[in-house]
Structure 1
Amino acid sequence: MERVLVIGPCGAGKSTLSTDLARRLSLPVHHLDRLHWHPGWVEGDKDELIEKLAAITAGERWLIDGNYGGTMAQRLKRADTVVYLDFPIGLCFWRALKRIWTWRGRSRPDMTEGCPERFDLAFLAYILRWNLGPRPRTEAALEGFAGELIRLKNPQALRHWLTKLPERR
């Protein structure tokens, strides 16, 4: 596990896992939300994100957290491992609501400073529609992946997998 992607629905816990996994594996972690968003919730340019990712994925060791389907193929080409938090959408929705409440008005550590957590109906609707659009697109992107795909269906499976993972210092 030298070049790792952590993907899954919003609210699954990708950023939390990525921070922990990067520490365990001594990998630099890159959060796509932080790379893409500018202060004030100004969306970054896709070409700018692609350039940033090209520089990161050219390296031999990294962990990238996030979906961003438009850049998935670029990242999958260089990844040796994908950890897919394929959690139930009801759980992800609940976790997203909890995150909004916990971080309201403040920027999360995995988000660009100046992008405070906020209640956003479109974001919540995106989570609820995960199985209709983002999931099939993610599954299609993963079909040709030659590396190791670790699909975890619930938090218990994640905890079990983490207990078997050796830490690298």
Structure 2
Amino acid sequence: MKRIALVGSSGSGKSTLAMDIGRILDIEVWHLDAILWKPNWTLTPREEQKQIQSQLVNQESWIIDGNYQSTLDIRLEAADTIIFLDMPRTLCLYRVLKRRLMYHNRSRPDMQADCKEKIDLQFPKWIWEFPSKKRPQMHQLLMDLKMDKQIITLKSPLEVKMFLADMQRPGVK
């Protein structure tokens, strides 16, 4: 595992898992939210997003977390390992609401400095609909990838904990 893409619903734990894996493997972590959002929640134009991600995936090793469907193919094609956090939507919603309270009126560590934590009405709806609208697309994308990729699906916090524990055992990395 040298080029790792983490995908999943908002609130699934992508950023936290990316940081944990980065510490274990000593690989640099890139949070797309921190890179692609400019101050005051201005999204980087799509062509620039593609350029940024193309540069990131050309590095020898990396961990990139984030969905960004329109540029997902760049990361998935370049990755040797793809981790899909397929968490229950109620857990994802809970985590997003908790995060909103924790970072009230300030930016998260995995976010651009001038993007204060917020939730608009569409965000919980997107999370709630992820299992029916986005999960099938994600499964299809992962099934269509070449056989030389390691694809890991984690469906609960316990599975994440066990995965990280396995990574820390000698000889597993």
TM-score by length of 2: 0.93
Q: 2:78 maps to what in 1?
A: 78
Paired residue for 2:162, among 155, 160, 163?
Answer: 160
> Are 1:69 and 1:138, in contact at CA under 8 Å, matched by a contact in 2?
no
CA shift at 1:166, angstroms? 2.9
CA shift at 1:41, angstroms? 0.6
Question: Which digits, 9 at most, give the CA deviation of each residue in 1:71-113, with x for residues without a partner?
Answer: 1111111100011111111111111111111111110011001
Code of the residue aligned with 1:9 in structure 2: it is: S
Root mean square deviation of aligned Cα: 1.3
> Are 1:3 and 1:60, in contact at CA under 8 Å, matched by a contact in 2?
yes
CA shift at 1:26, angstroms? 0.8
Q: Distance in 2 between matches of 1:139 and 1:149?
A: 11
Q: Distance in 2 between matches of 1:167 and 1:52?
A: 34
Q: Distance in 2 between matches of 1:164 and 1:15?
A: 19
CA shift at 1:4, angstroms? 0.1
CA shift at 1:167, angstroms? 7.3
Structure 1: which 5+ runs fail to align?
Answer: none
Q: Distance in 2 between matches of 1:166 and 1:80?
A: 19
Q: Distance in 2 between matches of 1:12 and 1:131?
A: 12
Q: 1:30 maps to what in 2?
A: 30
Structure 2: which 5+ runs fail to align?
Answer: none
State the number of aligned residues. Answer: 168
> Are 1:69 and 1:137, in contact at CA under 8 Å, matched by a contact in 2?
no
Q: Distance in 2 between matches of 1:144 and 1:19?
A: 27
Q: Distance in 2 between matches of 1:4 and 1:114?
A: 27
Q: 2:94 maps to what in 1?
A: 94
Question: Which digits, 9 at most, give the CA deviation of each residue in 1:142-166, with x for residues without a partner?
Answer: 1122301111110001101111103
> Are 1:24 and 1:167, in contact at CA under 8 Å, matched by a contact in 2?
no
Q: 2:107 maps to what in 1?
A: 107
Q: 1:15 maps to what in 2?
A: 15
User: After TM superposition, which residue ranges in structure 1, 4 or more long, deviate above 2 angstroms?
Assistant: none
Q: Percent identity?
A: 37
Q: Which runs of structure 2 are paired with 1:57-68 in the superposition (5 Å)?
A: 57-68=57-68
TM-score by length of 1: 0.95
